Amino acid sequence: MPLLRTDPLKGGEGGVSKVTNLEFIDAVFPRLPEQAYAAVSTKDGDPTKGGYTARRADQATTNLAPTANNYVNCSSFYHGENGSLRALKGQFAACHFLMLDDLGTKVDLDRFKDFDLSWLIETSPSNYQAGIILSEPITDGPVAERLLNGLIDAKLCDAGANQPLTRWARLPVAINGKPAHQTENGAPFQCRLIDWRPEHRYSPEAIVEGLQLKLAPAGRPKKTKVSGKSLIIRSADEGVHTPAPTENSVIAALKDHGLYKTPLGEGKHDITCPWVNEHTDAIDHGTAYFEPDDQYASGGFKCQHSHGDQYRLGELLDFLEMQRSQARNKPLIRVISRRSASNCGCGRKRAGKPWASLSAGRFDRVSIDRPDQRRSVYNTNYSPRPNPRTIHRSDLGEI
């Protein structure tokens, strides 16, 4: 089915362009969680200036002037303690639609030739924002975040300044007041609703399938006691950490494949070779897996048979369909900063100063939840040292 019922080059004249912002919002938000509200925001002039002030859609839609930049948030929100409605993660009620942006410029429209979007709005010349309405609003924040991050990872949505749960999408009756999109006579670009199919609603599963998204693994890692080396976060910031799973993930995978035999001590394990059929007389003997240690960060694999040089750890991991990062079995650290945005360890004011001190342990990633709602994630190849040492920002490679 073709994506565009109306050729974008010919414009959205006809019924499509007659949808008002109020009708649009009513169709996208047929139901809201109790005590929750859809949020809109309106800005005059250049929308890159200033923040977004959220207003309750049920009270503000008549005030969304067609001569302003008008937005609706992808999520509904509860009132805060002081009675104000703000589009903050902490006030999240439910995610109602997914917004895709930069279609036609950064993202090829052909990518949607087999997927019927719920709407398409031209937001600047030949550049479109699209919406996908959820058949059921997602009230579980982490579930919605996984889906939204899946869109960002698939490059279907800009990573943006706002975090995914509080993303603002353009409403159909509005301008794009960015000076760069002004017409020759200085008038602002008028947004155009090109396609409007609110009956196209999707479950998260259908979206993942239809757009071929790859989602991060579900759920939070189990909280287990750290065994062996102690793990201390001595940060000026408030920190939490998720210890590595107590069972080595390669061993777990070997067990799943029926290849695991017995521990041999000191991190060595007797296993059945995945390529045992290539052994003389298919003898099931003389193959070992080694857990990660200081020398071999990902662990090791050794088969004493003649194909031993051919099959190393990489081949074993390929066989088990695992990544090297999984084989390292390292914990994920999250450091939650409560400092001000300019002083949270990401800003220049503290460049060079320690932002977290971590004792013995190996950490793959550090993710910092910043007070300005953004998240910074770093890769680190931090190796354990005899004494606790301080990690500096310069030790980390940004991913």
Q: How far is the CB of 302 from Zn ion (least distance, A)?
A: 9
The stretch among 45-53, 74-82, 249-257, 298-306 that binds Zn ion (CB under 5 A) is: 298-306
Q: Which of 56, 79, 305, 374 binds Zn ion (CB under 5 A)?
A: 305
Three-state SS letters, 42-98: EECCCCCCCCCCCEEHHHHHHHCCCCCEEEEEEEEEEECCCCCECCCHHHEEEEEEE
C-beta closer to Zn ion: residue 304 or 325: 304
130 binds Zn ion (CB under 5 A): no
Q: CB–CB of 331/242 below 8 Å?
A: yes
Each residue 256-275 as x (binds Zn ion by CB under 5 A) or -, in order, gives -----------------x--
The stretch among 86-94, 244-252, 305-313, 388-396 that binds Zn ion (CB under 5 A) is: 305-313
C-beta closer to Zn ion: residue 171 or 320: 320
Please state, in angstroms and rounded to a whole number, the distance separating the CA atoms of residues 374 and 344: 11
Query: Which of 329, 176, 306 is closest to 250 using CA atoms?
Result: 329
**Sign (positive or negative) of CA dihedral 123, 23, 30, 79:** positive
Q: How far is the CB of 256 from Zn ion (least distance, A)?
A: 19
Q: How far is the CB of 330 from Zn ion (least distance, A)?
A: 28
Q: How far is the CB of 292 from Zn ion (least distance, A)?
A: 21
Query: How many CB atoms are located within 10 Å of the residue 346 CB?
Result: 21
Q: Which of 303, 317, 327, 335 binds Zn ion (CB under 5 A)?
A: 303
Q: Strand 92-103 to strand 69-78: parallel, antiparallel, or no bridges (unpaired)?
A: antiparallel
The stretch among 129-137, 252-260, 261-269, 302-310 that binds Zn ion (CB under 5 A) is: 302-310
Return the amino acid letter for 103.
L
**282 φ/ψ angles, rounded to the nearest 5 degrees:** 50, 40
C-beta closer to Zn ion: residue 253 or 273: 273
Query: Which of 357, 330, 55 is closest to 236 using CA atoms?
Result: 357
The count of residues interacting with Zn ion (CB under 5 A) is 3
- According to DSSP, residue 243 is labeled P
The stretch among 100-108, 203-211, 248-256, 303-311 that binds Zn ion (CB under 5 A) is: 303-311
Q: How far is the CB of 274 from Zn ion (least distance, A)?
A: 8
Q: How far is the CB of 124 from Zn ion (least distance, A)?
A: 59
Q: How far is the CB of 268 from Zn ion (least distance, A)?
A: 16
Q: Residue 1: how many CA atoms within 13 Å on its side-chain side? A: 7
Q: How far is the CB of 300 from Zn ion (least distance, A)?
A: 14
- According to DSSP, residue 395 is labeled G
The stretch among 61-69, 204-212, 252-260, 301-309 that binds Zn ion (CB under 5 A) is: 301-309
Q: How far is the CB of 273 from Zn ion (least distance, A)?
A: 3
C-beta closer to Zn ion: residue 309 or 398: 309
C-beta closer to Zn ion: residue 28 or 303: 303
Q: What distances in angstroms separate CA 181 from CA 99, 104, 186, 224, 381, one per listed residue? A: 21, 16, 9, 54, 45
Query: How many CB atoms are located within 10 Å of the residue 225 CB?
Result: 6
C-beta closer to Zn ion: residue 155 or 312: 312
Q: What residues line the site for Zn ion (CB under 5 A)?
A: 273, 303, 305
